[in-house]
Amino acid sequence: MPLNRINAVGGTFILICGVLLYLSPDNLTANSIIIQSLGI
């Protein structure tokens, strides 16, 4: 996989996680489950 594609996927994942944490700061358990379900 090209490096720029890895960076794009990683950046998108971080962005999604950031949005989840921003929208639901007291729902960290659900966010952790989501992260684990993605295998990361």
pLDDT, one tens digit for every residue, the chain (40 residues): 688 888 888 888 888 877 777 776 666 677 777 777 777 5
Residue 39 Ramachandran class (φ > 0 left, ψ -120 to 50 alpha, else beta): left
Question: In the numeric block, which tokens belong to residue 5?
Answer: 């594609």
Q: How many CB atoms lie within 10 A of CB 18?
A: 10
Cα 33-25-39 angle, rounded to 5 deg? 20
For the chain, the three-class secondary structure string (H helix, E strand, C coil) is CCHHHHHHHHHHHHHHHHHHHHHCCCCHHHHHHHHHHCCC
Given this model, what pLDDT does residue 11 score? 86
